[in-house]
Amino acid sequence: MFRSLLALGLISLLFSASSNAQSNFAALRLADGFDFPLGAPTGDGYYKSRGFMVHGHLGEDWVSLEGPGKVFGAPVRAIGNGVVTLARDFRRAWGNVVVIRHVYQEDGQTKYIDSLYAHLDKILVAEGQPVSRGQQIGNVGNAHGLYAPHLHFEVHKNLSIGVVHNLFAGDLSNYYVPTAFLETHRTLKCGSQWLTVAIDTYVMPSFPGIPTYPPFGKNMAARLAVAAAAEARKNASVILPGYR
């Protein structure tokens, strides 16, 4: 019993020190491929009601084949292994938003993307939390009644975008066409490697009143979850992400 309490105390102390020293970094597993965020893995039962358009609609809107409104409350899942970089209510045109950072290897290069899931009814993850491919991160919503229910989904090349579109060119230098990206990256080669990536890379909205959700590491369950992966993470390479 004493050893268990001592171990928990050491885990808590080490994690607290690590969180304070490196709160802008997080460890994550390389992505082994990407699935669709609704009807995972292949999007069964859902379709795009509105597609990606350069200098226009910079993502895709997904709804249910069952009819208008039927998508409300549907589980939204992480498209791949990653770490949550934003998870909060941005109000206005966004509503509840989750952004996940992913690292993958392709053609001998390490590459990075952010996936964005907007207008959610509920957020089920926290900033700094590692997530796995297919893990539920929220539920489809309607941006607090602003829109008909749907999932707005984006894939970013530029890791500075977050939810601020107007500071970056709305073209393929900064964005992927989401469906095209998923269909060409369904399966990827990867080992059991963990990487440490910067997560505080965003230009945040300038309007006031956006609450910050409690970060993942502020409760004991989170600390134990992180500690369980500590052995894998301690040899992780530190990656300062750019975009390609």
pLDDT digits (tens, 9 = 90+) for 23-55: 688 888 999 999 999 999 999 999 999 999 999
Distance CA 40, CA 45 (A): 10
* Domains in the chain, number: 1
Q: Is residue 244 part of a domain?
A: no
User: Cβ-count burial of 55 within 10 angstroms (0-12 exposed, 13-18 middle, 19+ buried)?
Assistant: exposed
pLDDT tens, position by position, 179-196? 999 999 999 988 678 888
Give pTM, 2 decimals.
0.81
Q: Is residue 202 part of a domain?
A: yes
In 3D space, the residue among 190, 26, 200, 201 whose CA is nearest the CA of residue 109 turns out to be 190
Distance CA 230, CA 166 (A): 39
Which domain, by its residues, includes 86?
A: 2-239
Q: Is residue 100 part of a domain?
A: yes
* CA 15 centroid distance within chain: 22
pLDDT tens, position by position, 204-241? 776 666 665 556 654 433 444 455 445 544 554 444 44
The domain that holds 188 is classified in CATH as: 2.70.70.10
